[in-house]
Amino acid sequence: MQAKGRVIILMMDSFGIGGAEDAASFGDEGANTFLHIAENYKNLKVPNLKKLGLLEAAKASCGKAAPTDEAAAPDFDLPSKYGYMEEVSKGKDTSSGHWEMAGVPVTFNWGYFKPEYPSFPADLIEDICKEAGIKGILGNKAASGTVIINELGEEHIKTGLPICYTSADSVFQIAAHEKYFGLDNLYRLCETAFKHLKPYNIARVIARPFEGEKAGEFKRTKNRHDYSVKPPAKTVLDYMKDEGGQVISVGKISDIFAAQGITRAVKASGLKELWDVTLDEVKSAPKGSIVFTNFVDFDMTWGHRRDIKGYAEGLEYFDSRLKELAALLQEDDIVFITADHGCDPSYKGSDHTREHVPVIMFGKNVKPGFIGARESFSDIAATIADYFKLKPFDKAKSFL
């Protein structure tokens, strides 16, 4: 490994910039997260992202310019490369998007549960309940997490039965009250469920702890934990770790990769805290390190809940903090801004949307220019491998 500088990856969970070529096969024809936010939220202020090339990348992706505030001025001036990426993985889920950008596309089909009640096979639930020593479950359907805890939270407190639900993703989610059910009990139950779900090829079991005393007051806590299957091959994170480099994950990155290739995992939740922690880690990260942050609110809080205003305000806040990161960059550092899929808040339903995602790379010594359409998210992994002189990825192309 050549430890010339640091790599910082800012992963804007769900920030699509135009429908993918195969969007129609996913039922997502016409989805465009960024464009529709910009059209529905007047005078969107993202001057730093604009300066870095986001608007040009988005226009190249979909053929239409996103309207933003023309008067807003950027806070810094660093050279950047910019374009958009197409996903080759078969799914539009979190795991597939992250693994692909780390060099390992998902070429197999995940397992999924049916959306209507009962979503889960009876023998699966029986096996989980028997081993966990519980009498049954609540929920057993596809649902929004915030909706279902308000629907069933009081019954959960009264009966002690966990709330189990799924979504359009390959997931089995378990919500339980931190005080009345207990966080450790919830984690143990998720571990039990994860074991029994292996034959179903489900990507993740997600622990969704919450607090509050009655419907309308329940809210999820920051102690979410994802139990993920491991990537099917080594990612660029593994290669970095194997060569003695540091891989620092912020937020849910470590969970998504089942801790593979991670040297330090830092918990954080909420857009502000995720930014605060990311900046703290950049301040102390040595040369030869990757700082990788998932900004989950764009997806979990605004995309899935179809909250255009919240998403737009989140974009403006994200943009406003970029100047702080720019001020911390050392001579050879590079920053990537990208996403793992779309989640158009103006679109029907509440699922992810199959879209192109932005790829922006900036830093003091980045050679600027438009890098066009990348054929796979894995081009990010190839670029990082090229930068650190790690093992290359045969089916991906560096744009260093």
Can you read off the two tokens belonging to residue 209?
A: 């702890």
DSSP E strands in 146-203: the ranges are 163-166, 171-177
Q: What is the pLDDT of residues 107-119, one digit of tens each?
A: 999 999 999 999 9
91: its two tokens: 């799914």
Residue 350 has pLDDT above 90, yes or no: no
**Angle between helices 33-40 and 54-62 in degrees, nearest 10:** 110
Query: What DSSP character marks residue 177?
Result: E
* DSSP state for residue 342 in the 8-state scheme: B
| Res 381: pLDDT | 98
CATH architecture designation of domain 122-228: 2-Layer Sandwich (3.30)
How far apart are alpha carbons 246 and 244 in whole angstroms?
7
Q: pTM score, two decimals?
A: 0.94
Residue extents of the structural domains in the chain: 6-108+232-388, 122-228
Task: Using the predicted structure, report yes or no on whether residue 2 has a pLDDT greater than 80.
Answer: no
Tens-digit pLDDT profile for residues 122-157: 999 999 999 999 999 999 999 989 999 999 999 999
Would you place residue 233 in the very low, low, confident or very high pLDDT band (cuts 50, 70, 90)? very high
Residue range 307-311: mean pLDDT, rounded: 98
Q: Which residues contact 258 (CB under 8 A, 6 or more apart)?
A: 227, 228, 229, 230, 231
In what order do the strands lie in the sheet containing 6-12? 264-266, 246-250, 289-295, 6-12, 334-338, 357-362, 80-85, 369-374
Burial (CB count <10 Å: 0-12, 13-18, 19+), residue 343: buried
What 3-state DSSP class applies to 384?
helix
Q: Assess whether pLDDT exceeds 90 at residue 268.
A: yes
Mean pLDDT of 317-340: 98
Rounded Cα distance, 233 and 225, in Å: 23
pLDDT of residue 3 exceeding 80, the answer is no
The gap between the terminal CA atoms of the chain, to the nearest Å, is 16
Buried b (16+ CB within 10 A) or exposed e, 183-201: bebbbebbebbbebbeeee
Long-range contacts of 158-165 (CB under 8 A, 24+ apart): 160/134, 161/134, 161/135, 161/136, 161/137, 162/134, 162/137, 162/138, 162/186, 162/189, 163/137, 163/138, 163/139, 164/120, 164/125, 164/137, 164/138, 164/139, 164/140, 165/119, 165/139, 165/140, 165/141
DSSP state of 111: P
Residue pLDDT, tens place only, 40-53: 999 999 999 999 99
* Residue 235 one-letter amino acid: T
What distance in Å separates the CA atoms of residue 326 and residue 218, rounded to the nearest whole number? 38
pLDDT digits (tens, 9 = 90+) for 70-81: 999 999 999 999
Predicted confidence band of residue 265 (pLDDT cuts 50, 70, 90): very high
Confidence band for 4, pLDDT divided at 50, 70 and 90 = confident
Given this model, what pLDDT does residue 1 score?
Answer: 80
* Residue (of 34, 23, 52, 29) closest to 359 by Cα position: 52
Provide the CATH topology of domain 6-108+232-388.
Alkaline Phosphatase, subunit A (3.40.720)
Angle at CA 359, nearest 5°, toward 355 and 362? 160
Encode pLDDT of 52-105 as tens digits.
Answer: 999 999 999 999 999 999 999 999 999 999 999 999 999 999 999 999 999 999
Please, which pLDDT band fits residue 396 given cuts at 50, 70 and 90? very high
* H/E element, 279: helix 271-284
Neighbours of 154 (CB within 10 A): 15
Average confidence score pLDDT of the chain: 96
Going by C-beta distance under 8 Å and a sequence separation of 6 or more, which residues neighbour residue 147?
Answer: none
If you average pLDDT over residues 148-173, what whole number do you get?
96
Residue 138: which of 124, 169, 109, 117 has the closest Cα? 117
pLDDT at res. 168: 84
Helices 33-40, 308-328: inter-axial angle, 10-degree rounding:
110
How far apart CA 292 and CA 248 sit, in angstroms, is 6
pLDDT of residue 373: 98
Check residue 282 and give its pLDDT.
Answer: 98
Distance, CA of 62 to CA of 357 (rounded, Å): 11
